[in-house]
Amino acid sequence: MSLYTFVKSATSDTIHIFEGRVQPNEECLKRRESMCGGLALKDGGILSQASCMFEDEARQFAANRVRARKVCGKCVAQLYY
């Protein structure tokens, strides 16, 4: 099962989406690169209210921020692909 985490870039206001999965100990393991490949996990800060979300939750969270152009468009496209 895929989970999604939103990470804000340390150098800009852009928010990128990271895909992850649940470990047997119920910990969320995130990939090292954003879905678009434009941000490394170590180069940003995880948004506390947007960590380890299910797909529907992640889509809704992104939709509320896309209008303000805060979320990376390539990451959002990958979320819907």
**In the predicted structure, residue 15 carries a pLDDT above the cut 90:** yes
d(CA 15, CA 11): 11
Q: What is the model's pLDDT at position 68?
A: 66
30-78 residue pLDDT tens:
999 999 999 999 999 988 888 999 999 999 999 887 666 789 999 999 9
pLDDT class for 81, splitting at 50, 70, 90? confident
Give the number of other Cβ atoms within 10 Å of residue 42's Cβ: 8
pTM here is 0.90
